[in-house]
Chain A
Amino acid sequence: MENVIEVTGMSFGYTRDMILEDVDFAVERGDFAVVIGDNGVGKSTMVKLLLGVLRPTKGSISICGKNLTSLRGTGIGYLPQNSGSKASTFPATCEEIVMSGLYKKIGFGRFPGKDHKKKAEEALKMVDMLDKRKSLIGELSGGQQQRVMLARVLAGDPEILILDEPTVGIDAESVDRLLHILHHLNIDKKVTILMVTHDVEKAGPYANRVLCLSEGACREELLPDAKIVHAHAHSHPHGGVEHIHCANCEHGDAHGHDAEHCAECAHCDSSCEHGDHVHHEDKEHAHHAQHGKGGEENA
């Protein structure tokens, strides 16, 4: 399977101290990848690096085989955290907001046509918000606002969807609904998803690939079907985690590589019981686990 996101030996620091160090990570087409880690460990920094907002101090990032210099023209959709709350005071209808996601299709200095309006309606329908298309964004609940923001991203037909803690600040029911929509997009529309989240319990069962930036956050029992990659990360000055070791073996540093490739624990594959990191392709299986179906298989 083709790698759509490939991070190689990437390090980054806002000062001379590195937050992320020698991170190697790849996301294949059709993956539902999740980035987890404690506060201040560099999850959002990782997203900014993937979006080209920040440049890595060392190493490289490639998107769909092209070295990342700018995201213009790439098929990436981005949903930031609390994106809806920022819009609460903005006097725009849901339809107007979703139409802005069609910018690339309409083009600079051109006017949207009937097709674009139809496309915006389709995107709103996908997130079950079509009936609210004439409502002001500020009149909606946090969960509804987040779905409208997702519709805006979807209107642009992204191949890759990057989400930075999309479930923060919304109620449990809305979280389930949002994750269900993402799962549907991943399975039916073949959209590759990379999501930063704290909510391992909710998002974990959907993921088939996990980048773990801090040991404490990586609760493997919640990630039954995922290939887990441990990255070498340092915390921000106020964060909690100082240094990350390979969680699957006790032989030290994973250096941001998959455990199979960890130089320090070459015997992982044979002697360590965690050596075999299963990569399940069957994401329906993960979905069933989330909804209580197929529980026995997962157990």
Chain B
Amino acid sequence: MRNTEKEVRRMPEILQYTYMQRALFVGLLLSVIVACLGTVMVHKRLSLIGDALSHSSLAGVALGLLMGFNPIVGAMSVCIIAAFSIEVIRKKLGNHSELAVAIVMSTGIGLAGVMSGFVKSSADFNSFLFGSIVAISSFEARLVMILSVIVLLAFILLYKELFYISFDEQAASISGVPVGTVNAIFTILTAVTVSIAARTVGALIVSSLLVVPVAAAMSIARSYRTTVLWAAFVSVCSTIGGLVLSFYLGLKPGGTIVLISVAFFLIFRCIAFFRGRSTSSKGA
């Protein structure tokens, strides 16, 4: 018994609290899957889809709180509907397909705004805006763990299909890739991930985590595979670093995580700039 107590005391302070252990574990898992999905999203030129889905998820949260069911279930349902709506509207709009994201995002914000007015406990609703990674329940932690395994497996199994579709959807279709099926799976995975991540890091922040680590990785990566790995690295470092900093400095975890990822982006851009200069001077 005394040995256990001694061991706990020897641990860093941040790991002595169960809620922080859970937050770090969930943050680690989420950061990896968000980076994987973000890489595909950015290269499919759908960077803003994360924004549209995360904002739409708020409508689901409000619906859940109003109707008395789990807000995460509400967020997931609305996210999936929103994601498929984007695909349908995109196909209908032809040359102006990018408007689909804006239309769905506006609808989501509108619904969330109206419905939030009827929610009695505004604190519950606000916790989804900026997340509450340090207040995750054991149910939510288990949900994230199961989801992470599913998303990671799907990403690994569909890696070459997602690569091909991101690179050239028409050529992929001609080569026999089941583009519709793969896109549908990806849409569902994204919607579910965004709704879970909205609960933990916040709806206003999840879209940044989908895009910024990928943008940072693209600055220095020398292949698609290394882009995924660098994006996951930046995402994990930002999340863990953000949680640690917020714990010791008393900052909001969601915002700290995003700001660290932006710092990574700036550092990587500088590295790319100097590397480019040294390459061109060698060439000269």
Rounded to whole Å, the gap between the CB of B44 and the closest CB of chain A is 11
CB distance from A113 to the nearest CB of B (A): 12
Check A100 against B174 for contact (C-beta < 8 Å): no
Residue of A nearest to B176 (CB): A72
- State whether B167 touches A106 (Cβ < 8 A): no
A103-B168 in contact given A92-B223, A92-B224, A108-B178 (Cβ < 8 Å): no
Q: In the bound complex, what is the Cα–Cα distance between A86 and B171 (angstroms)?
A: 12
Q: Does A109 lie within 8 Å of B158, measured CB to CB?
A: yes
Task: Verify if B222 is at the interface (C-beta below 8 Å from A).
Answer: yes
- A103 contacts which chain B residues (CB < 8 A)? 160-161, 164, 172, 175-177
Query: Does residue B225 face the partner (Cβ distance < 8 Å to A)?
Result: yes
Which residues of chain A have C-beta atoms less than 8 A from B161's C-beta? 103, 108-109
A178 in contact (CB, < 8 A): no
Cβ-defined partner of A91 (8 Å) among B170, B171, B227: B227
Give the secondary structure class of B's interface.
helix
Digitize A86-118: 1 where CB-to-B-CB distance is under 8 Å, 0 elsewhere.
110011110011011101101011011000000
Could you tell me which residues of chain A, from 125 to 160, have a CB within 8 Å of some CB in chain B?
134, 136, 152, 156
Q: How many residues of A contact B (CB 8 A)?
A: 31
CA distance A83 to B170 in the complex (A): 11
Q: Does B245 sit within 8 A of A, measured CB to CB?
A: no
Across chains A and B, the number of contacting residue pairs, with CB separation under 8 Å, is 72
- Write the B139-167 contact mask toward A (1 if CB under 8 angstroms, else 0): 00000000000000000011011011011
Q: Which residue of chain B has its CB nearest to the CB of A93?
A: B223
B183 to chain A, nearest CB (A): 14
> Total interface residues on B, using CB and 8 Å?
25
B170 touches A80 (CB 8 A): yes
Closest Cβ of chain B: how far from A261's Cβ, in Å? 32
Closest CB of chain A to B43's CB: distance in Å?
6
Is A78 touching B171 in the complex (CB atoms < 8 A)?
yes
Q: Are B172 and A96 in contact (CB under 8 A)?
A: no
Residues of B84-129 whose CB lies within 8 A of A = none
Q: Which residue of A has the minimal Cβ distance to B164?
A: A100
Of the candidates B157, B161, B171, the one having the most CB atoms from chain A within 10 angstroms of its own CB is: B171
- A76 CB-CB contact with B under 8 Å: yes
User: What chain B residues lie within 8 Å of A292 (beta carbons)?
Assistant: none
- A78 contacts across to B, CB distance below 8 A: 170-171, 174
Which residues on A are within 8 Å of B, measured CB to CB? 51, 53, 71-73, 76, 78, 80, 83, 86-87, 90-93, 96-97, 99-101, 103-104, 106, 108-109, 111-112, 134, 136, 152, 156
The 4 A-B pairs with the shortest beta carbon distances in the complex, nearest first, are A92-B224, A72-B176, A100-B164, A93-B223
